[in-house]
Amino acid sequence: MNRPVVLIRRSALSCLLALAPALVSTVEAREPQAPNTGAVAATALTLSETPPPLSARYRVTVTTPARSARPPVKQIWHFHRNAEQVALLKGTIDEVWHRDRQGLVSFERVFHDDQRTVDYTAGELATIGVATDWAALSSLVDAQVLRSLRVVSRRGTGAAERVVLVGRAGSDAYRVEWSPALQMPTRMLRTERNGRQTELVLEQQVAVAPATWPVVGQRSADYLRLDAADFGDMDYDPVVRKAEALDIRLGWRTAHHHD
């Protein structure tokens, strides 16, 4: 017998980065301080409603405290966006957001190891209280996180302009190097209270992805598809349990108890 799942409203953008384990850092203390005026903050954190279409490759490094003796984990993520789709391909799991002509946003999570795709319709996202902000999804960083950080430096102009922001969001510390022209981070350091650290570094961004980069939807074209609305009847399925566990980690649901 299943107990009711308690739902928590949270931005959909948290999905893009929350799945990577994210050292308590002193970077904030080392940064030169800039005046934290409202005008400066507003200029730095404006997210475009129509960010330029692009594809990007990020190098991701996850580090745990020295006492754990675990070597850093390194991955390559590919990020693609246009007016209808935002996708983050992480190797074993893809996260793809779709927007239709009516502006309704849906989501799919692809589990390559299981050859399964889980679909979240716009209606299902609304049911579980997930807010979908397309401009925020397209920026790769949660807008709420950006707004909680303060500007400490600016350099360059035009396409070369970079804005550096530092601060805390919840229990995590962040340092973000932001490109206003690209509307995305060129480098981001996320530090968790438990000592884990995730760093994203933009290695390449292009208008059209090279043929050697993974193509959204290509590997998963023949995968079995599951509807997230049917989770309640599929507690036995290991992929459903994986998807629910990720939802819980993102704050989309609380723990689902099984009797």
How do the domains of the chain map onto residue ranges?
10-250
Give the pLDDT confidence score for residue 131 in this predicted structure: 84
Residues of the chain with pLDDT under 70: 1-45, 255-259
Report DSSP letters for 123-150, one per residue: HHHHHTTEE--HHHHTTSS-HHHHHHSE
Question: Which CATH number applies to 10-250: 2.60.40.10, 2.50.20.10, 3.40.980.10, 3.40.50.620?
Answer: 2.50.20.10
In 3D space, the residue among 10, 1, 65 whose CA is nearest the CA of residue 248 turns out to be 10
- Take residue 24 and report the two structure tokens written for it: 């308590």
Give the pLDDT confidence score for residue 107 in this predicted structure: 97
- Take residue 230 and report the two structure tokens written for it: 């049917």
Give the pLDDT confidence score for residue 33 in this predicted structure: 42
* pTM of this structure: 0.81
Give the pLDDT confidence score for residue 25 in this predicted structure: 29
Give the pLDDT confidence score for residue 143 in this predicted structure: 79
Give the pLDDT confidence score for residue 37 in this predicted structure: 41
Strands (E), the chain: 10-11, 54-63, 73-81, 85-89, 93-99, 105-111, 116-120, 130-131, 150-155, 162-169, 172-179, 184-191, 197-206, 224-227
Give the pLDDT confidence score for residue 116 in this predicted structure: 97
Q: Report the DSSP pairing between strands 85-89 and 172-179.
A: unpaired
Give the pLDDT confidence score for residue 21 in this predicted structure: 36
3-state secondary structure (DSSP) of residue 47: coil
pLDDT tens digit sequence for 236-250: 899 999 999 999 888
- Take residue 139 and report the two structure tokens written for it: 């920026």
Give the pLDDT confidence score for residue 256 in this predicted structure: 52
Give the pLDDT confidence score for residue 15 in this predicted structure: 47
Give the pLDDT confidence score for residue 41 in this predicted structure: 43
Give the pLDDT confidence score for residue 246 in this predicted structure: 92
